[in-house]
Chains A and B, each alone.
Chain A
Amino acid sequence: AQSVTQPDIHITVSEGASLELRCNYSYGATPYLFWYVQSPGQGLQLLLKYFSGDTLVQGIKGFEAEFKRSQSSFNLRKPSVHWSDAAEYFCAVGKESSYKLIFGSGTRLLVRP
């Protein structure tokens, strides 16, 4: 069965520091991978997605993620975090024969001034 693991429940970084949020998935074939962000009181906003092709994908707000098949990972990165990036981040996986997304448990990002 498909599953998504986000090993870090909380991460705290200083404003201006770099960020990496981890995501590991379990799926036999090539998955469709997504990162969503949820700010308080807001819905889930898509940051970026990977379907095929270049394994380094660029998203909105300066985020990028790299698909590594050998590690079953799709980690999210940002070179310099802004205070407005404080939110909860969800990794999700889908597959071609299904309509559903399977979400990880989320990582809450706190940004120190």
Chain B
Amino acid sequence: EPEVTQTPSHQVTQMGQEVILRCVPISNHLYFYWYRQILGQKVEFLVSFYNNEISEKSEIFDDQFSVERPDGSNFTLKIRSTKLEDSAMYFCASSTRQISTDTQYFGPGTRLTVL
């Protein structure tokens, strides 16, 4: 069964450093998403991406964040200058269509620890 994969599973970085989290969505999916879950808190939507542009973003997704689909298979989340409060589990998801008619399939997550 096709699945969303994410690398690395755990990333440790120093505050102020740039990190790139990588995701390989399911191959025939067209919509891509990033969510995060700070320890002990809810899973929160960050951004959705379709047709090579951001289709929706939350207030969390500020100028420190960016997303890219650099090739036909990868989808990345970049945090330009990490802060302590960026420590969280980051989930990538993908779907064939917009939420109203389809399901988002999630990857296993990348745990980001900012020291």
Contacts and interface: CB of A to CB of B under 8 A. Distances in A.
Interface of A: 32, 34, 36, 41-46, 49, 51, 90, 92, 94-96, 98-106
B24 to A, nearest CB: 13
Given A99-B33, A100-B56, A43 B48 contact: no
Contacts of A103: 42-44
Interface residues of B, number: 28
Interface of B: 4, 6, 31, 33, 35, 41-45, 48, 50, 55-56, 58, 91, 93, 98-101, 103-109
Contacts of B55: 99
Nearest to A97: B100
A46 B48 contact: no
Contacts of B106: 36, 43-45
Nearest to B45: A100
Contacts of A90: 43
B103 A49 contact: yes
A106 B39 CA distance: 12
Given A43-B91, A99-B33, A99-B56, A94 B99 contact: yes
Contacts of B58: 100
24 contacts: A41-B108, A43-B4, A43-B6, A43-B106, A43-B107, A43-B108, A44-B93, A44-B106, A45-B106, A46-B105, A51-B101, A92-B43, A94-B100, A95-B100, A96-B99, A99-B55, A100-B48, A100-B56, A100-B99, A101-B43, A101-B45, A101-B104, A102-B45, A105-B42
Interface centre among A90, A99, A106 (most CB of B within 10 A): A99
Contacts of A34: 103
Closest 3 CB pairs of A and B: A99-B48, A100-B45, A44-B106
Contact of B103 (A41, A46, A98, A105): A46
